Amino acid sequence: MNEKILVVEDEREIADLIAYTLKKENFEVTIALDGETALKKLRENFFDLVVLDLMLPKIQGLEICKVIRNNPDMQKTGIIIVTAKGEEFDKITGLEAGADDYITKPFSSKELLARIKAVLRRTMPAHSKQKIIKIKEMVIDKEKYLVTVKGQPKRLSATEFKLLLYLAERPNKIFNRDHLLDAVWGHEIYVDSRTVDVHIRRLRLKIEEDPDNPEYIKTLRGIGYYIEA
């Protein structure tokens, strides 16, 4: 079954170029030229990944990103923000809104494909013999793609889930940013190391009772992150 990708881009030529590139790789592609149409298509169909421009007519890309992340039915949907904005603040804002990756225009078709394939791999975590991981009062169900803390479900993006799972499967082992970038995002594409910090912060906000004094995801200053079990 081919992965379904929604391309949300208000410039028709760019949208068509992205769609052409993806269709050559046998992806099933749908185009939306504005934010309102994008939300309508998202509510009518399931998409494995959304390629999302930030500057859109009617509804902005960041709002669409938040809608996806707040919808339990879209938790497995990957998001790549594609935009002309290249400042670090804009990248961090996009990641904090729930994007899995960020690419700035102009970009090559080869780089976009590499990033799309990397995000899609992260939406399907590798299965091991242990289907349920329990750490203190946190339970990770790998088959159901579900995380609960004290019985309360937590909505995580695909990348957040893979990052949490990677740490949880290796409790008390410390990993630096570069190691986590290779393990979770993949070494074939460039992602800034700040991306790890942003995702760790988002995870703490979602799973920790007190994010400033985390019970699960710990930091060893100057070295890296680990889950204490």
Judge if 65 and 158 occupy the same domain: no
Total residues found in the chain within this entry: 229
Residue type, 178: D
Buried b (16+ CB within 10 A) or exposed e, 150-179: eeeebbbbbbbbbbbbbbbbeeeeebebee
| pLDDT for residue 127 | 43
Q: Where does residue 50 rank: exposed (0-12), middle (13-18), buried (19+ CB within 10 A)?
A: buried
* Confidence bin at 189 (pLDDT 50/70/90): low
Which among 82, 103, 123 is the end of a domain?
123
Pairing of strands 28-32, 4-8: parallel
Residue 10 contacts residue 61 (beta carbons within 8 Å): no
If you average pLDDT over each of 35-39, 166-170, 174-178, which comes out highest? Answer: 35-39
* Statement: residue 90 has pLDDT above 90: no
* Confidence bin at 124 (pLDDT 50/70/90): low
Judge if 90 and 157 occupy the same domain: no
Judge if 112 and 144 occupy the same domain: no
3-state secondary structure of 224: strand
Neighbouring residues of 144: CB distance < 8 A, sequence distance ≥ 6: none
pLDDT cut 70: percent of the chain above it: 93
Judge if 109 and 136 occupy the same domain: no
Judge if 67 and 159 occupy the same domain: no
Residue 79 contacts residue 5 (beta carbons within 8 Å): no
| pLDDT for residue 187 | 61
Judge if 101 and 153 occupy the same domain: no
| pLDDT for residue 182 | 83
Judge if 79 and 116 occupy the same domain: yes
| pLDDT for residue 128 | 46
d(CA 204, CA 208): 5
* Statement: residue 83 has pLDDT above 50: yes
Number of domains forming the structure of the chain: 2
Average pLDDT of the segment spanning 7-28: 94
* Confidence bin at 34 (pLDDT 50/70/90): very high
Neighbouring residues of 165: CB distance < 8 A, sequence distance ≥ 6: 125, 133, 140, 142
Judge if 23 and 93 occupy the same domain: yes
Judge if 93 and 142 occupy the same domain: no
- CATH at 142: 1.10.10.10
Please, what is the average pLDDT of the chain? 88
Which among 70, 105, 123 is the end of a domain?
123
User: If phi over 0 gives left and psi between -120 and 50 gives alpha, with beta otherwise, what is residue 136?
Assistant: left
Question: Domain range for residue 50?
Answer: 4-123
Judge if 116 and 169 occupy the same domain: no
Which among 104, 123, 142 is the end of a domain?
123
Average pLDDT of the segment spanning 132-161: 91
DSSP readout, 196-207?
HHHHHHHHHHHH
* Statement: residue 8 has pLDDT above 70: yes
More confident residue, 188 or 228: 228
Judge if 110 and 11 occupy the same domain: yes
- CATH at 79: 3.40.50.2300
Judge if 136 and 174 occupy the same domain: yes
